[in-house]
Homo-oligomer: A and B are copies of this chain.
Amino acid sequence: MKTDKTKVKRIPKRGFYDKETVYKILDSDFICQIGFVYQGYPVVIPTIYGRKKDVLYFHGASVSRMLQTLEKGVSISVNVTKTNGLVLARSAFHHSLNYESVTIFGTATLVEKDSDKLEALRIISDQLIPERWEEVREPNQKELHITKVLQLKITEASAKIRDEGVHDDKQDYTLDVWAGIVPIKKVYGNLIPDVELKEGVAVSKSIKKLIHEKIYKAE
C-alpha cells in the first residue's frame, strides 16, 4: 500500500504499509476524520466507522451534506489518530508525542442493497461495541431508508507510529529535569442508566464485555 501519496515523508522509519499494522490501528478506534474538497475548499468532518476485511464503512442521515458529496465519487482522505503518550524530554525541542495514525486515500461508493446496508450498519455497530447489535431492535424499513451507508475500499493506506522513549541531546542528560513518558489512555467511565430504563433490566453482555476489556484500572 506504499504509493507516492501514502509514503511517509518525515521520519520514514515511522511509516508502515502492511495490512496487519494498518488494520490493528483501525480496529482499536471508531472515530475518523474525513477530508474532501467541497466547492473548492477543503472540509474535514469527524464520523464513526466500521472496518471489515478491506472495507471501511461510514453512515449517516441520507440528507447529510458530507455523504451526498462523497457518494458522487470525489477523492477523500481518511485519518484515524490515537494519542498514546506525552514524551517529556529535558529540552523543549525534544518533547514529542507517542501516537498511532492511519491515513487512507480513495473514493467512497454508496452501499445500495438493503441487506448490504444492514450488514454494514452491523459492522459499524460492532466497531463501537461488539455484539450490541444482537441485543437491540434492528433497523426497520423506514429507518433504513433515511440512512445512507458508504463504503471505502482500503487500497491506498499507511500507518505512522511513534512508540519510543525520550531522545535528548547528549549534553542535556546531566540537567536536573525529570524526563519520561506520560501514557494517555481512552477509558470508559461508570455507566449512566437512561432515566426511563425499565425496572429490572440488567446491563447487557456486550456492555459488560466492553467495559471489562477497556476500563482503566487505577494502580
Q: Hey, which bits of chain A sit against chain B, CB under 8 A? A: 5, 9-10, 31, 33-37, 40-46, 48, 60-61, 63-65, 75-79, 81, 83, 85-86, 88-93, 95, 97, 99, 101, 103, 105, 121-122, 125, 128-129, 132-133, 135-140, 143, 147, 165-166, 172-198, 201-204, 207, 210-211, 215-219
Contacts and interface: CB of A to CB of B under 8 A. Distances in A.
B188 A184 contact: yes
Contacts of A188: 182-185
Nearest to A175: B137
Contact of A218 (B136, B179, B198, B217): B217
B191 A180 contact: yes
Given A10-B60, A10-B65, A95-B132, 10 more contacts: A10-B63, A31-B83, A35-B42, A45-B103, A83-B186, A165-B195, A173-B196, A183-B190, A186-B186, A186-B187
A190 B109 CA distance: 44
A71 to B, nearest CB: 15
A189 B178 contact: no
A107 to B, nearest CB: 10
A47 to B, nearest CB: 9
Contacts of A93: 137, 139-140, 143, 147
A189 to B, nearest CB: 3
B185 A92 contact: no
Contacts of A185: 186-189, 216
Contacts of A60: 10
A66 to B, nearest CB: 9
